[in-house]
Amino acid sequence: MLSRTADNLYWLARYMERADCLARLLDVTQRLAQLPVAYGGSTNEWRSALLTAGCADQFKLVHGEDATEQNVINFLAFAPENPSSIRNCFEIARTNARSVRTALTIEMWETINSSWLELKRYSTKDMTREELARFLSFVKETSLRFDGAAYRTMLRNDAFWFSRVGMYVERADNTARILDVKYHVLLPETEHIGGPLDYFQWSSILRSVSALTSFHWVYRESVKPWLVADLLILNAQMPRSLTSCYQNISRYLDDIAAYYGRQGTAQRLARSTFTRLSNSRMDDVFQTGLHEYIETFVSENNRLGATVTEQYLL
Amino acid sequence: MTVAFDEMTNADGSVRAAYTALARWLSNVPPDVLDHRRKEAEFIFRKIGITFAVYGDSDAQERLIPFDIIPRVLTGGEWSRLSKGLEQRTKALNLYIKDVYSKREILRAGIVPEDLVYQNPVFRPEMNGQKVPHDLYVHIAGIDVVRIDADTFYVLEDNARTPSGVSYMLENREIMMRLFPELFAENRVAPVENYADELLATLKSLAPTTATSDPVVVVLTPGIFNSAYYEHSFLADKLGVELVEGRDLFIKNDIVYMRTTEGPKRVDVIYRRLDDDFIDPLAFRPDSVLGVPGLMSAYHAGNVTLTNAVGTGVADDKAVYSYMPEIVRFYLGEEPILKNVPTWRCREADHLKYVLDNLHELVVKEVHGSGGYGMLIGPRADKAQIELFRAKLKQDPNNFIAQPTLALSTCPTFVEEGIAPRHVDLRPFVLTGSDKVRIVPGGLTRVALQAGSLVVNSSQGGGTKDTWVLEEN
């Protein structure tokens, strides 16, 4: 297929996934920020959201140090000057979709197109919490519908595989970032690790990735940091875990390689990351430091993305 | 003005043969059913229309082209004469363009004046003496035809560059079959849905002789901002070929490649929906970013087929149009099956005199004009406008032609006040391959929705209809 088509499909899937992640991030941030004041005191949830999304620097250019709830929500959800705002994700996804219209199924196109039209109905000014909640669930539903449409209707060929690779590369990045929220959110000095606030923060993270119920099913005990990390990093049953993402990335890259009759650097990189994740134990992760482990992973994941681009998409 | 010929109903009120079943159906169907189906059609089209125009922005709805649910019907006999005429005309167009860029016999014979070629802005000196694959230039032609009476079809215009509209022909049929299956049970309507297969066969037959037996065909689009982008992607989809932009192609050693995930892939035939001016910044407009640098060089080396060929515009302006009957006779030694609208060439003294004496009843057009600009419609013009054109004509007669105002045929059309006659034209699509000429029975019928209006143009309130050709028993 045309490199441009593959590139568009890859990024289309990434942007749809990113929009979903941003919606989840805003969700969890709002939850954290709404903690009873008795627990909280002055915390920094909204700034942490910016750090997690990786756009603190851009935010500073627009709003300076003023990381209020309203500013951060506007910036992450709607700001035209933030290239990764939810609105821009949808815009870019739709532009990509239009230029590869022939590579998409009707269902995929209609999901993207109708969401793009609906997006205009949400005004950015003075959004109430209810409106924001409605907006966030609209974004998450759009991603679900797009993903479902792709899964149910696309031919299983390189077009499908490239879009899946894009989705999982983005999802791995997003899972890692959401897990890292906890690193950026300060625990007030009055609170101690394992205390009620700490517990609440970790369970909010699970909830934001729809994993709280799964957590209980898998571990059958109360929420603990290393178990949350285990679920989101190492547990292959968990569809958002880094291991699961890399299992899928490897698989789809191998499908592409088999189809084209040639393996390359991207396949090797993906496989080695997957192997390393499969062989990791939570003790090792915490020994390195969770935040450091995640940082390393994010840059490794970026390198894979760049390699895929170089190998196929130019 | 004379009363227009109606394609369904004779002057005495009897129904013409082609419309027997349709007329019966129309008289039986309750008006509210018709109205309901029209709304349904509108709804479906809006959905598809959304795919047309959503693209742009919120004026999507304005950009929908209205669709009329009453089909236009031609008999098999009418069609077979029409299609013979179309084939003949397209053959002549091809021979004419080949001649213009090689021996120029028709110029030397004094049949077409030299300045019509050499001073034509779309004449491409780059094509002089260049051989094109299979000696064919116009592979996809849209010949606009109007009807005057039961027997007379006139060609209104030849479109030999990148004629559009075929996606409407296909979508219109699709929607009619969905909405009115019972009508298709009663009428034996020749299918059009094989257009894509015919087009692909045509394109493959045109591949350079150096290509493999399974040549690689692509559709080249200017991109998503082009107003016909929907049609480009629609066609690529139906053909099952890649829809490429200029940046997807590159030239190496005079061979055209596209960039794919598996590396460079050779391209043999480019169905380009991009004007000559933009296809190669090295040969034509240097500021074009839509084209492919070096494409003309690969083309001249005979390594790729461009459809349509470069320089076909030299055959489809209004001045050349007036010579088409002579062009048909000159190359084919036959009488033209399809007539031209009678045309006065103001460049000829006696024609000019006639035009100046009869301005109030003629339509005067600029030779290179299009879209209704620079036009005088005598019967509707006031004195000042007529005098203005008189002065223009005297000053630069070469730049004008004149034609009588025609009474275009009408077809029953579902409008506000019910079913009423409205003027129509027809654009059939003629495919010329190296093996044969293919014409899908039908074409795009455009209809002027305003009562009495002759303007079928979609930008001025025109709509479209499904066009039926009935198969003979």
- State whether A4 and B247 contact (CB < 8 Å): yes
Q: How far from B344 is each of A298, B35, B386, B402, CA to CA, in Å?
A: 75, 45, 17, 5
Instruction: Give the pLDDT of residue B58.
Output: 47
Tokens 């999802």 locate to: A171
Laid out side by side, the sheet with B344-345 consists of B344-345, B400-404, B362-366, B375-377
Q: What pLDDT does A288 receive?
A: 85
Q: Do A2 and B55 touch (CB under 8 A)?
A: no
Distance of CA A141 to the CA centre of its chain: 15
Query: Which residues are bridge partners to B263 per DSSP?
Result: B260
- Would the pLDDT of B53 be above 50? no
Instruction: Find out whether A152 and A145 touch, Cβ atoms under 8 Å.
Output: no
Structure-block tokens of residue B58: 């919120």
Nearest to A4 among B54, B237, B248 (CB): B248
Interchain CB contacts (distance < 8 Å): A and B: 48
CB contact under 8 A, A99 and B55: no
CA distance, residue B215 to nearest chain A CA (Å): 16
Residue A196 contacts by C-beta under 8 Å, 6 or more apart in sequence? A39
Q: What is the spatial distance between Cα A221 and Cα B105, in angstroms, rounded to a whole number?
A: 94
Residues of A in Cβ contact (< 8 Å) with B260: 1-3
The percent of residues in chain A predicted with pLDDT above 90, rounded, is 56
Evaluate whether B203 touches B217 at the Cβ level (below 8 Å): yes
Q: State the sign of the Cα–Cα–Cα–Cα dihedral A85, A90, A93, A98.
A: negative
> What distance in Å separates the CA atoms of residue B148 and residue B341, rounded to the nearest whole number?
10
Instruction: Note the pLDDT of residue A188.
Output: 65
Fold of the domain built from segment(s) B342-404: Dna Ligase; domain 1 (3.30.1490)
Q: Which of A2, A102, A158 sits opposite B258 (nearest CB)?
A: A2
pLDDT tens, position by position, A210-247: 898 999 999 999 888 889 999 999 999 999 999 999 99
User: A298: which 2 tokens?
Assistant: 């994010």
What is the Cα Rg of chain A in Å? 19
Mean pLDDT of chain A: 89
**Percentage above 70 pLDDT, chain B:** 94
Structure tokens at B408: 């275009």
pLDDT score for B59? 45
User: Would you call B261 and A162 a contact, using CB atoms and an 8 Å cutoff?
Assistant: yes
The string over B278-300, giving b where at least 16 C-beta atoms fall within 10 Å of a residue's C-beta and e elsewhere, is: bbbbebbeeebebbbbbbbebbb
Tokens (6 digits) for A218 = 């898998």
Are the CB atoms for B444 and B467 separated by under 8 Å?
yes
Distance from CA of B268 to the nearest CA of A (A): 15
Paired sense of beta strands B305-307 and B242-244, if any: unpaired
Give CA–CA dist B244/B228, Å, rounded: 14
* Residue type (1 letter), B307: T
Q: What is the 3-state secondary structure (H, E, C) of chain B?
A: CCCCCECCECCCCCECHHHHHHHHHHHHCCHHHHHHHHHHHHHHHHHHHHHHHHCCCHHHHHHCCCEEEEEEEECHHHHHHHHHHHHHHHHHHHHHHHHHCCCCHHHHCCCCCHHHHHCCCCCCHHHCCCCCHHHCCCCEEEEEEEECCCCCEEEEEEECCCCCCHHHHHHHHHHHHHHCHHHHHHCCECCCCCHHHHHHHHHHHCCCCCCCCCCCEEEECCCCCCCCHHHHHHHHHHHCCEEECHHHEEEECCEEEEEECCEEEECCEEEECCCHHHHCCCCCCCCCCCCCCCHHHHHHCCCCEEECCCCHHHHCCHHHHCCHHHHHHHHHCCCCCCEECCCEECCCHHHHHHHHHCHHHEEEEECCCCCCCCEEEHHHCCHHHHHHHHHHHHHCHHHEEEEECCCCCEEEEEECCEEEEEEEEEECEEEECCCCEEECCCCEEEEECCCCCCCCCHHHCEEEEEEEEECCC
Looking at residue B48, its pLDDT comes to: 61
Residue B62: burial class (beta carbons within 10 Å; 0-12, 13-18, 19+): exposed
Q: Do B242 and A1 touch (CB under 8 A)?
A: yes
Alpha-carbon span B71 to B411, nearest angstrom = 9
> CA nearest B216: which of B148, B267, B162?
B267
Cross-strand partners of B346: none
Alpha-carbon distance B172 to nearest alpha carbon in chain A (angstroms): 19
Residue B371: per-residue pLDDT: 55
A68, B322, B406 from B409: Cα distances, Å: 69, 22, 9
* Closest by Cβ to A260, choosing from B50, B55, B262: B262
Q: How confident is the model at residue A103 (pLDDT cuts 50, 70, 90)?
A: confident
Q: Greater confidence, A182 or B383?
A: B383
- pLDDT attached to residue B441: 96
The model's confidence at residue A119, banded by pLDDT at 50, 70 and 90, is confident
In B, minimum Cα distance to A260 occurs at B262
- Is the pLDDT at B119 greater than 50? The verdict is yes
Strand partners, B269: B217, B305
Q: Would you say A253 and A165 are in contact if contact means Cβ atoms under 8 Å apart?
A: yes
Min Cα separation A99/chain B (Å): 6
CB contact under 8 A, A98 and B55: yes
Task: Check B54 against A3: CB less than 8 A apart.
Answer: no
The pLDDT of residue B54: 38
Q: Under DSSP, is residue A209 helix (H, G, I), strand (E, B) or coil?
A: coil
Residues of B in contact with A158 (CB under 8 A): 261
**Nearest chain A Cα distance for residue B310, angstroms:** 25
Is residue A303 classed as helix, strand or coil in its secondary structure? helix
Once rounded to an integer, what is the mean pLDDT over residues A165-193? Answer: 83
Q: By CB neighbour count within 10 A (0-12 exposed, 13-18 middle, 19+ buried), where does B266 fall?
A: middle
CA B282 to chain centre: 29
From chain B, the residues in CB contact with A256 under 8 A are 261
Q: Give the whole-angstrom CA distance, residue A142 versus residue A157.
A: 24
Whole-number Å distance between alpha carbons of A134 and B345 = 68
Work out the minimum CA distance from A114 to partner chain B, whole angstroms.
10
List, in sequence order, every residue forming a beta bridge with B217; answer none if it has no partner.
B269
* Mean pLDDT within B204-233: 92
**Which of chain A's residues have a Cβ under 8 Å away from the Cβ of B245?**
4, 99
Which of B213, B86, B84 has its CA nearest to residue B140? B86
- Find, among A31, A11, A29, A153, the residue nearest to A88 by Cα: A11
Nearest residue in chain B measured CA to CA from A99:
B224
Are the beta carbons of A102 and B54 separated by less than 8 Å?
no
pLDDT surpasses 50 at A49? yes
What's the rounded mean pLDDT across residues B177-205?
94
Alpha carbon distance B453, B447 (integer Å): 9
Residues ≥6 apart with Cβ < 8 Å to B451: B415, B420, B422
Domain(s) labelled CATH 3.30.1490.270 in chain B stretch across: 342-404
Using an 8 Å CB-CB cutoff, list chain B residues near A5: 242
**Nearest chain B residue to A113, by CA:** B54
Min Cα distance B59 → chain A (Å) is 12
Give the closest residue to B226 by CA, choosing from B240, B203, B246.
B246
Asked whether residue B366 carries a pLDDT value surpassing 80, the answer given is: yes
Q: Do A158 and B261 touch (CB under 8 A)?
A: yes
Looking at residue B373, its pLDDT comes to 64
List of chain B residues whose C-beta atoms are within 8 Å of the C-beta of residue A117: 54
Identify residues of B whose CB sits under 8 angstroms from chain A CBs.
50-51, 54-55, 223-224, 229, 233, 236-237, 242-245, 247-248, 258-262
Predicted local distance difference test score (pLDDT) of residue B195: 97
Residue A128: both structure tokens together: 């109430």
For A281-295, write each residue's pLDDT tens digit. 988 888 888 889 999
- B137-173 confidence digits (pLDDT tens): 999 999 999 999 999 999 999 999 999 999 999 999 9
Find, among B102, B92, B125, the residue nearest to B315 by Cα.
Answer: B92
Q: How far apart are CA A229 and CA A287, in angstroms?
A: 13
Does B261 contact A102 at a Cβ distance shorter than 8 Å? Answer: no
Note whether B269 and B305 are within 8 A (CB): yes
State how beta strands B217-220 and B269-272 pair: parallel
* Local confidence band at B50 (pLDDT 50, 70, 90 cut-offs): very low
pLDDT exceeds cutoff 50 at B57: no
Rounded Cα gap, residues A46 and A56, in angstroms: 11
Q: Mutation test of the interface with chain A: which of B261, B266, B292, choosing the one with the most A Cβ atoms within 10 A?
A: B261
Determine how many CB atoms are found less than 10 A away from the CB of residue A49.
29
Residue A39: what pLDDT?
54
For residue B248, which residues of chain A lie inside 8 Å, CB to CB? 2-4
Least confident of A120-129, A161-170, B81-90, B318-327: A120-129
What pLDDT score was predicted for residue B46? 67
Q: Residue A150 is part of which domain span?
A: 3-313
